[in-house]
Structure 1
Amino acid sequence: MISTRHLGPVAALFRSANRPMLAAGAAMALATVLSGIALLGLSGWFITATAIAGASVTTALAFDVFAPSAGIRLLALTRTAARYGERLTTHEATLRVLAQLRERLFRGWARADAARELAIRPSRLLFRLTVDIDALDSLYLRVVVPVFAALGAGLVTAIALGLLHPGLGAGVGLLLLGAGLGIPALAARRAEKAARRRAHALEVLRARSIDLMRGQTDLAMANRLGAQAAGIAAADSRLSEADIALNRIETDVSFALATVSAVLLAGILLAVAALAEAGTIGAPSAAFALLVGLACLEPFTGLRRGAVEFGRTLLAARRLGPRLGETPDTVPALPGPAPDRSVEVDGLVAGYPGARRPVLDGLSLAIRPGEHVAVIGESGAGKSTLLAVLAGELAPAGGHVALAPATLLTQRSELFRDSLRGNLALARAGTDDGDMRRALQAAGLDRFVATLPDGLDTPLGEGGTGLSGGQSRRLALARFLLRDTPVWLLDEPTEGLDGATARDVLARIAARSRDRALVVATHIRREAALADRLIRLEEGRIVADIARGSAEYDRALEGLRPD
């Protein structure tokens, strides 16, 4: 069973944001329900009273038809206006809260290790960041508002019928609140397991379908297309089974509420017949009570869908609730270095959560303005970890790090489904077309862009679809150049490129980095050749600092992977 304790942060967000609008939406939902019940009850009373009054001329002339008819019209208009206002207000309030929820969650993913965690499980976490948020709209729209309206309707019905006879009001009130709330509560408990299974099956189905679409070539080469299709079919089957179970529960709730409605109506009919026979109430009051009883259970049927979806809402709250109470774990800004330094590292200790020992342990390094340094070493030596610390993506666990403003270019810079202009504009606020074209020229992509009919407005697909690998890397380089910071951090910037493209990209980097400090983590000879110094790492420590022009420098280059 999923605990409701995770609903606290979500409920707090609903309470703190747009509270007047949320309260107004619930109040209008109650007004809609009460107007409907009163309209039916008053109409029944009026029709019966009019029929009785018309039995004789004297009573017909004395009977006031204007006040009840005006009340009926007022209730009809109130119900229509309240229904419209309730739909408008509740949905607007919910959408605003969910927008704030998305913002808070995405800000929470700005912490230091978020990118790495997202890269490990991208489809699952993206699914949860989207579908789980959407699932939380049921909390207010299908649980809180219907429960409030149903409680209000039950209490007002009990009071109204209690004015006719206290026992009648108490009996109807107890039956309404007991069965009307108890049946949906039992359904919510029963549907919890099926709702969880449906959520997990849908998650697996989407992930496997994406894997099939993106990995068709690899799956075909491994002769696994059939197995992947079978896995998708199995997930779809589990999803169908969960849907059938939820639909069955919803049908059972409808049947149970219909049975309660029939029992309630029969009980009221017998009660008012006895009261009318005893002379306690008249025929109009009996008709009023009967029609109020007919309408009073309708608000409780609104809980049917919310009860079935409550398990999904609890699951979403369990996944998202803990992050709502967290303060984003951002890495503090690094201090600036001394005037004659661009990078200062002294006794740096850095690692990742859960690791038994730090990746970098006691590392010290100083880089002057305009100096180019290549960090080399075996995989796992700490090259990328050092760049992550310098880029502000990983907080140091110890030691001192000071750095001038820096920009990181990785071998997998993300391109987004947007125009060329939109992808370049991410680099710097206020970038104009002239700056973008100069950056494209410096990256060697200007001639290609000039051949495009839409130029900078040319749309790209997801991940830069529409560009070749070399063009994607050049676009990322153009965006990198637009940052124009005094320190450039490069993590194997030409990995995966053909030799000619890689050499051209490196030549352009070298031409634009003469007055900047450059730190490149690499195991490729052509990239390390940019450096004035080679820093060799082993197990998170510097074991060699080699200057250009020495025989050791040449031997170190020769030991790297050839171009």
Structure 2
Amino acid sequence: MNDLIPFLRLSIPRLPWFLGGLLLAVLTVVAATGLLALSGWFITASALAGAGLIIALDVYRPAGGIRALAVGRTVARYGERIVNHEAVLRHLADLRSWLFRALAPLDPGTLARFRSADLLQRLVGDIDTLDGLFLRVITPTLTAVLTLLGGALFFGLLAPLTVLWVVAVLALAGLILPAIAVVLGGRSGAARIEAAARVRERAVEGVQGLAELRVFGALPRQRASLAAAEQDRARAEIQLVRWGALGDTAAMLAGLGAVWLALWLGVGWLSQDQVTAPIVVLLVLATLGLSEAVAMLPGAYQRLGQIRAAAARLLDVAHTRPALPEPVPPRQPTSEGTLALEGVWLRYSNDAPWVLDGVDLSVHPGETVLITGASGAGKSSLIAVALRLVSAQAGEARVGGVPVQSMRYEDLYSTLGVLSQETVLFADTVAANLRLARPEADDAALEEALFLAGLDDFIAALPQGLETAVGEGGALVSGGQARRLALARLILKGAPVVILDEPFRGLDPATIERLKQRLTPWLSGRATLVIAHEPDMAPPCTTHYMLQGGRLQEMASS
């Protein structure tokens, strides 16, 4: 169970919510048991009073107690659902933030060991599975323990000591049945988690690569793989349902056995005039109510295998360490606005050719250096070295006079702003996406950034202006508009060192010319490195290099 301990620790901030939910769950069982027992006592006592066997019967207080318990059970059940679900949803949000924080520092090489669809399953499906740890395991267990202890105390005060045998039977069932459920459901639960992960992987990858699968005629094979994964998941689910039905049956039989034991003991006490008939009915029905708390346990512990498998998958991510860890102690940039690569050699395997072959490059404030080259020439690798996303075999990159290997990512990226080829926009407004770069920026700063990015007219024409939603991944704007929104976000950041990777990709010639005119003054005060396939697709530069064969060759400046 050690794999669950980290998640129990992570739940400590939500402990008041969980304790509140537990209290309401106990009150629900107590109210339901009390309602059943008191109703049985009252009905029996009323029948005996009607037959003249009981001379005086107070009907007001029992009737009031029944009404109070009925209302209390309803209120407690409703409150328990609200509080427990609120606690779990808050905790799941905490877990997603925790997992994202574990993923954020991972370099691309380390992160590549996890497929994107698999990460999605861990971030969504596996974390959702953990809601059962509190809702379906811990809360029912503690509820059963507390109600059985209360039942033991109640029975011990109300009836002869031998009635505690009833509680002992229920307690024994509460120990044995969950243990059997863990053994029987563990393997099937783990298999279901793994199969569900494969189903999501096949489905997501099939959608993302639909065009390629059709072109290469691999769609039937992908479909068959998805169907096989779904069959594995369905088989595991069916097995879990079977074990669940068996556990529920065993719990029901144990509860009925306790009821029959209470009835048998009660008849014996009644024949010896140790208790009255209404008390016997009360004890029998109270036993039936208490058995409901035990009945929840087999199904709860049957899910433990799924929960542990999901926890193990999450810990696998959380325990992954980046190949490029944060330096201890870190160094701060000693000068502003410089970017340099000094004798950088890089290749991705020992038998692969050199992607960067002793590259030397310096970019100072006020300079715009352009690097062009064919696809696969190593332009993106050069950026990766500067961003400390990969580690070169020799040489180093420096930002602000400090080797990037000696800087924290937070310090590095506060000095260096990047417009990558991948445009990342979130399902929020234009303003919210821009303020990711500078949360405190006012509307005037946003409008200035949009002007420099050539989007001022477009945003001004929108009915909601800066509050216009861009959709998930920028789905509600065109590719060129999304690209310029990312550029505006970079401008808003105002970093002294700027890297632009294909900044004008997907834009028409008129828009490119307008952007060149607006960006040139802004770039003039910064150290700017531009990566492009063609010089026409970049702002005016002070130095132009061609990257070929891993080496930089100076070209005529544009």
Taking structure 2 as the reference length, the TM-score comes to 0.81
Residues 297, 325 of structure 1: alpha-carbon distance in 2 compared, 3 angstrom cutoff: farther
Q: Which residue of 2 aligns with 1:47?
A: 43
The code of the aligned residue for 2:22 comes to A
Count of matched residue pairs? 539
Deviates more, 1:499-508 or 1:239-248: 499-508
1:220 corresponds in structure 2 to 214
Q: Which residue identity is paired with 2:83?
A: T
**1:19 alignment counterpart:** 15
| Cα separation, 2, equivalents of 1:242 and 1:147 | 25
2:535 matches 1:553: no
Match of 2:232 in 1: 238
Q: Distance in 1 between matches of 2:312 and 2:351?
A: 26
* Structure 2 unmatched runs, 5+: 389-396
| 1:486 has 2:496 as partner | yes
Cα distance in 2 between the residues matched to 1:46 and 1:304: 33
Shift of 1:381: 9.2
Shift of 1:90: 2.0
| 1:9 counterpart = 2:10 | no
CA displacement at 1:217 relative to structure 2: 2.1
Q: 1:352 to 1:270 in 2, by over 3 A?
A: farther
Comparing 252-261 with 154-163, greater Cα deviation is found at 154-163
- Which residue is 1:134 aligned to? 128
CA drift of 1:243 comes to 2.1
The alpha-carbon deviation at position 528 of structure 1 amounts to: 8.3
Q: Using the alignment, how far apart are the partners of 1:23 and 1:246 within structure 2?
A: 29
Query: For residues 383 and 235 of structure 2, what CA distance do their matches in structure 1 show?
Result: 46
Deviation at 1:176, TM superposition (A): 0.8
> Does 2:122 correspond to 1:125?
no
Contact 1:371 1:516 in 2 (8 A): yes
Query: C-alpha displacement at 1:407, in angstroms?
Result: 0.8
Tell me what 2:148 maps to. 154
Amino acid at match of 2:198: V
User: Alpha-carbon deviation of 1:155?
Assistant: 2.5
Q: CA deviation at 1:136?
A: 1.6
Matched, 1:464 2:474: yes
Match of 1:166 in 2: 161
The alpha-carbon distance between structure 1 residues 470 and 408, as it changes in their structure 2 partners (threshold 3 A), is same
Aligned mates of 1:417, 1:391 — CA distance in 2: 35
Query: Which residue is equivalent to 1:373?
Result: 369
Q: Tell me, which stretches of 5 or more residues in structure 1 are unaligned?
A: 545-551, 558-562
Cα deviations across residues 496-546 of structure 1 (Å, max 9, x unaligned)? Answer: 778887777666544531221112356655568954446788999xx76xx
**TM-aligned CA distance change 1:217 to 1:350, over 3 Å:** closer
Distance 1:116 1:355, change over 3 A: farther
Q: Provide the rounded CA distance (Å) in 2 between the counterparts of 1:128 and 1:219.
A: 25
Helix, strand or coil at the partner of 1:297 = helix
**1:335 paired to 2:336:** no
Shift of 1:11: 0.7
Tell whether 2:63 aligns with 1:69: yes
Contact (CA 8 Å) 1:359, 1:381: kept in 2 or not?
A: no
Distance 2:311 2:508 in 1: 48
Q: Label 1:417 to 1:529 Cα distance change in 2 as closer, same or farther (>3 A).
A: closer
Equivalent-residue separation in structure 2 for 1:496 and 1:131 (angstroms): 36
Instruction: State whether residues 344 and 356 of structure 2, in contact with CA within 8 Å, keep that contact through their aligned partners in structure 1.
Output: yes
**1:560 matched residue in structure 2:** none
Q: Deviations over 1:224-270 (max 9, x none)?
A: 22222222222222222222222212211121112222222222222
> Offset of 1:355 from its aligned partner?
13
How far apart, in 2, do the equivalents of 1:501 and 1:391 lie? 34
Distance 1:553 1:321, change over 3 A: closer
Distance in structure 2 (CA, Å) of the matches to 1:122 and 1:507: 39
Q: 2:312 aligns with which of 301, 318, 341?
A: 318
1:444 is aligned to 2:454: yes
Map of 2:383 onto structure 1: 384
Q: 1:373 is paired with a residue of what secondary structure? A: strand
Distance 1:350 1:277, change over 3 A: farther
Could you tell me how far 1:222 is from its partner in structure 2? 0.9
Residue 22 of structure 1: CA displacement? 2.0
Letter aligned with residue 60 of structure 1: I
User: What's the RMSD between the two structures over aligned residues?
Assistant: 4.2
Give the aligned residue type for 1:128: R
Q: Which residue of 2 aligns with 1:179?
A: 173
CA contact (8 A) 1:40 1:292 kept: yes
SS in 1 for 2:555: helix
- In structure 1, the partner of 2:103 is 109
Q: Measured at CA, do residues 445 and 73 of structure 1 come closer, stay the same or move farther in structure 2, by a change above 3 Å?
A: closer
Partners in 2 of 1:109 and 1:408 — Cα distance?
20
The one-letter code of the counterpart of 1:177 is A
Give the % identical residues.
34
Instruction: Tell me whether 250-259 or 110-119 shows the greater mean CA deviation.
Output: 110-119
Q: Tell me the amino acid that sits aligned with residue 49 of structure 1.
A: A
Residues 448-487 of structure 1: per-residue CA shift (max 9 Å, x gap):
5566565545443433234444443333223222222222
> 1: CA distance between counterparts of 2:351 and 2:258?
64
Secondary structure in 2 aligned to 1:488?
A: strand
**Structure 1 residue 148 displacement after superposition:** 1.0
- Paired AA for residue 4 in structure 2: L
What is the CA-CA distance between 1:414 and the residue it aligns to? 1.2
Q: CA deviation at 1:309?
A: 2.5
Encode CA deviations 1:309-367: one digit per residue, 9 max, x unaligned. 2222212222334667899976787623337x6346779999999999x9999987654
Q: Is the 8 A contact 2:173 2:294 kept in 1?
A: no
